[in-house]
Amino acid sequence: MKRRHIVLFVSLLFVVALGSVAYWRPGAATAQGVLVQDYLDQEKTIQYIGNVDDTGSPFGVVMYDSSRPESLVHYMEASRFQGQKLISSGAKELYVWVTFRRPMNIDAFEALMKQNGLAVKRYTLRVIGQKGDRIGISGGPEQDHLVPADQIDSAMNAIQGHESNQAQLQGVFEVVGVVSAEGYQALIEDPRVFLVDVTGTLIYRDQNFQRKTNMGWKEFVDHFQIDGGPGGPFWYVEDFGLGASGN
C-alpha cells in the first residue's frame, strides 16, 4: 500500500511521495558532531541524537526498529519510563510527540488537547485515497483555530484534484507540543494514546546541549523539530494492528 505525506503550513502545500519505507533502525544516522547522543532504553536499542542546524534551530532524531510490533511496544514503554524520570527529576513541562492508536476525529482531538492543556505546535491527519493509499496531512494552529477548516479543505481539494477521487479524512493521528507534568500523566493513561515520546525534553535538558547552546525553554519548543523516520510511528501502528486496544 502506498504512503504519501502532505505537509500543510498556512498557505503552503507540499506533496512528497514516500514509496516503500525502509526500517528505521539504530545506527541509521551518523552521530558525528552531534551535541546529544543517548538511548531511551537500557538495552540500547532506541537511540536518539540532538543538534542544531545551520540556522541554530534545534532538532532531534529517534532511531528504532520498526520491523516488529514488539519493538514499537518497547519504544512506547521506554518513552513512558523516561517521561516518569523527567517528572521525578522536577520537569514541570514536557515537549511531547504523541501518537494515537487510531485517527481521532477533529472534535475529539480538540477536546483532548483542551482537557490536557497541550499547547499544539503541529499535528498530522490521516486521509485514505480511493485506492486505499494512506496519506498524511501535516499542519499547525492558525490564530484562534487549532485545526483551521479552510486549510484542511484546501488540502483535501488538492488531493482529490490530483487523484480525481473522493478521499476520506479520518482524523488526527499524531500531535507535537508542550504539556504540563499533569497533562502528560493524563495522556499516557488515555486508552486512545499509543505513544508519548519525550525525546525533545531529554535533548533540551542534556548538559552538553545546554552548555553549547545556552537556549531557553521557549526558544527551544518554538523551533524544535523531531524526526522518527518517514511518516512516524503511526504508520507501523497501523501496519501491525496495534490500534486495536484503543477506543
Dist CA 19 CA 21 (whole Å):
6
First CA to last CA distance, the chain = 25
R_g of the chain, CA atoms, integer Å:
18
The stretches of 51-92 forming alpha helices (DSSP H) are: 69-88
Q: What is the largest CA-CA distance in the chain?
A: 53
Domain ranges of the chain: 3-239
The total of other beta-carbon atoms located within 10 Å of residue 157's CB is: 11
Cell reading at 76:
512506547
Give me the tens of pLDDT residue by residue for the chain, a chain 247 residues long.
Answer: 555 554 443 332 333 333 222 233 333 344 446 899 999 999 999 999 999 999 999 999 999 999 999 999 999 999 999 999 999 999 999 999 999 999 999 999 999 999 999 999 999 999 998 888 898 988 999 988 999 998 888 888 888 776 556 789 999 999 999 999 999 999 999 999 999 999 999 999 999 999 999 999 999 999 999 999 877 999 999 999 998 754 4
